[in-house]
């Protein structure tokens, strides 16, 4: 049987992701406030910032989902073979 997993709010990765997301939100909010009469170049920069934030968020979510799948796979294989331990 695998050890119990820690709740999401106690995970260091979750807190790092949360701080990163709030940081991007603050940066985008500051840029909108600073460049309020939006010009063509400021719109492109804001679009790029939003795209980067989305890519980082998707990467985190996909990475965590992949880690969960691997942990479950090793748990099942451990039950079957009795020797395999999760790499975490």
pLDDT tens string 32-63: 888 888 888 888 988 998 899 889 888 888 88
Buried/exposed code over 8-28 (b: 16+ C-beta within 10 A; e: otherwise) = eeeeeeeeebeeeeeebeeeb
Judge contact between 31 and 46, C-beta under 8 A.
Answer: yes
pLDDT of residue 76: 80
Residue 84 in this model has a pLDDT that exceeds 60 = no
pTM above 0.85, yes or no: no
State the DSSP code for 7: P
Q: 5 CB contacts (<8 Å, ≥6 apart)?
A: none
């Amino acid at each position: 049987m695998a050890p119990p997993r820690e709740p999401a709010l106690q995970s260091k990765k979750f807190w790092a992701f949360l701080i990163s997301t709030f940081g991007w939100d603050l940066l985008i909010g500051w840029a909108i406030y600073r460049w309020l009469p939006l010009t063509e170049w400021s719109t492109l920069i804001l679009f790029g910032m939003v795209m980067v934030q989305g890519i980082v968020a998707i990467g985190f979510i996909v990475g965590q989902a992949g880690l969960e799948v691997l942990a479950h796979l090793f748990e099942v294989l451990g039950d079957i073979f009795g020797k395999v331990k999760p790499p975490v």
